[in-house]
Amino acid sequence: MKLLKNTAIAAALAVGVATTASAQYAMAPSKNIVETAVEAGSFTTLVAAVQAAGLVDVLSGPGPFTVFAPTDEAFAKLPAGTIEALLADKEKLTAILTYHVVPGAVKAADVLGLTTAQTVQGKSLSIDTSDGVKVDNANVVATDIMASNGVIHVIDTVLIP
């Protein structure tokens, strides 16, 4: 579960960097969520967190998964020392990462009809579509980055359960 969440986050971050390439991924994605995030280059913190939590294999697996992926800039907004502390606490890191992952492939059009979404971590995310799309306190800044095992939506804030 931890791996799934971390990989999903990494993939979502990759989408933020590769928003101009989203049409390419939507047509015939050949890379999984983790590979997509790594290739994007803007999810290095997310990818490192997914690796530290041991979630790479899960998020590279068959899925499908939906990942609300924070960018490196989103991680940079956390208080000083937070990332280092999380990397040292695998259980807490896994809980946070899996909170960014929803089972199934939930595309942007599907999100519009939702007010909550159950995460892999076990808690529900709140969804607000009244002014753009917000997931908990994060703005969704890019959507529908397709991977071979799911979809990534890029967010501007790290979600904390």
Structural domain contains residue 38? yes
| Residue range of the domain that includes 145 | 2-155
Q: In what order do the strands lie in the sheet with 124-128?
A: 101-103, 65-70, 150-155, 138-147, 134-135, 124-128, 116-118
What H or E segment, with its residue span, contains residue 161?
A: none
Structural domain contains residue 160? no
pLDDT tens per residue across span 83-115: 999 999 999 999 999 999 999 999 999 988 899
Structural domain contains residue 21? yes
Structural domain contains residue 151? yes
Please state, rounded to an integer, the average pLDDT across all residues of the chain.
85
What predicted TM-score, i.e. pTM, was given to this entire model? 0.81
Structural domain contains residue 90? yes
Per-residue pLDDT band for 53 (boundaries 50, 70, 90) equals: very high
Rounded CA-CA distance 49/26 in Å is 26
Structural domain contains residue 73? yes
How many domains, the chain? 1
User: What pLDDT does 137 receive?
Assistant: 92
Instruction: Please list, residue by residue across 99-116, b when 16 or more beta carbons sit within 10 angstroms of its beta carbon and e when fewer do.
Output: bbbbeebbeeeebeebee
Rounded CA-CA distance 40/140 in Å is 17
Q: Give me the residue label for tokens 């606490």.
A: 89
Structural domain contains residue 161? no
Structural domain contains residue 121? yes
User: What pLDDT does 15 receive?
Assistant: 40
CATH of the domain at 68: 2.30.180.10
pLDDT tens per residue across span 116-158: 999 999 999 999 999 999 999 999 999 999 999 999 999 999 9
